[in-house]
């Protein structure tokens, strides 16, 4: 189970790590506005991920402690001299303050994560602060224990050591933007067999990126099918069914292979099971994977996007 980090020095190191990992083109002298306030500051635009960010200190309030504020704004185009904040993730300078939404969390191995309580302010009239949890139901939600022993649930925004941190944070900003605009939640693709409890928070974050990239590739080929029709027959072609191995651990691979084998036994010739696994794992265990009774497609990262090798052959 993840734990909320409360030690001031550890929080400070985590925030400095976060600042160092985030990239962006600086835009100086930008006036940021939000409901009830404004601020003149420098922001950094993450062009490829369509958002800008800035860190600002926040003094203690009547009901909150002093905190760091990670200010975030959706920006598909270069920022102007005046920008509206989409959301902010507040992180306490020290201690565990459940009144602020931002959390630095750590797993049993000491890996650190940027997390969020799920309470989202600044929503439209009639929206509950807790409504964001329902809107992002397919997010990486994990149990979290606080220093006083109380447990809650938190959304894992991104692992701090992930090379895909900026992409994951950009997805979070876009989700908040759509939520506050009153958009309907994006339906889950249902492409991959659901993972079991062995899925780590880091692997789960990568899984969402790979699943999204796979969905886009299938849309290009006109082969997309969702949760309701995974086992349906499209014309004379079997419906592809995928299982994704996100980080290549033996237990994750065993679960994926078992899930596809069971699906194949149930669906027979109506389904075409396909294993999606890291290219390094495919290269290392090629002979073993080739002996499986279904196709295996390797994926590799190009920046923060998953690229699939052999997908067309597996679908043919």
Same domain membership, residue 209 and residue 167? no
Residue 194 domain-assigned (yes or no): no
222 and 122 share one domain = no
296 and 149 part of one domain: no
Whether 80 and 211 map to the same domain: the answer is no
Query: At which of 148, 180, 212 does a domain end?
Result: 180
- Do residue 58 and residue 176 come from a single domain? yes
The answer to whether residue 238 is domain-embedded is yes
Confirm whether 211 is domain-assigned.
Answer: yes
Amino acid 142: pLDDT: 94
Q: Which of 117, 145, 180 is the last residue of a domain?
A: 180
205, exposed or middle or buried, with CB in 10 Å at 0-12, 13-18, 19+? buried
Residue among 8, 88, 13 at smallest CA distance from 55? 88
Residue 218 CA to residue 202 CA, distance in Å, equals 25
Q: In this structure, is residue 255 part of a structural domain?
A: yes
Can you count the helices (H) and strands (E) in the chain? 8, 15
Q: Are residues 136 and 36 in the same domain?
A: yes
Residue 115: the pLDDT is: 97
In this prediction, residue 37 carries a pLDDT of 82
Q: Which of 197, 205, 245 is nearest to 111 (CA)?
A: 205
Looking at residue 124, its pLDDT comes to 63
195: in domain: no
pLDDT of residue 131: 86
pLDDT of residue 138: 86
pLDDT along the chain (316 residues), means of 10: 93 93 94 87 96 88 77 96 94 84 94 94 64 89 94 96 96 95 76 63 91 87 54 57 86 88 85 91 88 92 94 89
Split into its structural domains, the chain has a count of 2
Q: Is residue 193 part of a domain?
A: no
Question: How is residue 209 annotated by DSSP?
Answer: H
Residue 94's pLDDT is what? Answer: 81
Domain hosting 262: range is 201-315
């Amino acid at each position: 189970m993840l734990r909320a980090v409360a030690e001031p020095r550890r929080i400070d190191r985590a925030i400095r790590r976060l600042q160092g990992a985030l990239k962006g083109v600086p835009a100086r002298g930008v006036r940021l506005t939000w409901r009830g306030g404004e601020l003149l500051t420098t922001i950094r635009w993450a062009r490829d991920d369509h958002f800008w960010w800035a860190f600002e200190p926040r003094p203690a309030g009547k009901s909150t402690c002093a905190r760091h504020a990670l200010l975030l704004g959706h920006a598909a185009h270069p920022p102007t001299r005046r920008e509206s904040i989409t959301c902010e993730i507040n992180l306490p300078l020290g201690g565990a303050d459940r009144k602020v939404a931002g959390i630095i969390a750590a797993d049993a191995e000491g890996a650190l994560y940027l997390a969020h309580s799920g309470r989202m302010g600044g929503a439209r009239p009639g929206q509950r602060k807790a409504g964001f949890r329902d809107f992002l139901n397919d997010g990486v939600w994990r149990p979290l224990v606080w220093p006083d022993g109380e447990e809650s649930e938190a959304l894992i925004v991104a692992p701090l050591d992930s090379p895909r941190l900026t992409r994951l944070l950009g997805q979070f900003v876009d989700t908040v933007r759509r939520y506050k605009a009153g958009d309907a939640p994006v339906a889950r693709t249902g492409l991959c067999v659901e993972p079991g409890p062995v899925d780590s928070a880091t692997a789960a974050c990568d899984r969402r990126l790979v699943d999204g990239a796979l969905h886009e590739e299938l849309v290009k080929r006109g082969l997309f099918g969702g949760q309701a029709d995974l086992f349906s027959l499209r014309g004379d072609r079997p419906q592809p069914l995928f299982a994704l191995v996100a980080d290549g651990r033996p237990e994750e691979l065993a679960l994926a292979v078992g899930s596809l084998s069971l699906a194949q036994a149930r669906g027979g010739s109506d389904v075409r099971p396909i294993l999606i696994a890291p290219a390094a794992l495919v290269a290392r265990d090629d002979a073993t994977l080739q002996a499986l009774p279904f196709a295996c497609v390797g994926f590799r990262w190009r920046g923060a996007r998953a690229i699939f090798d052999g997908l067309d052959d597996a679908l043919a």
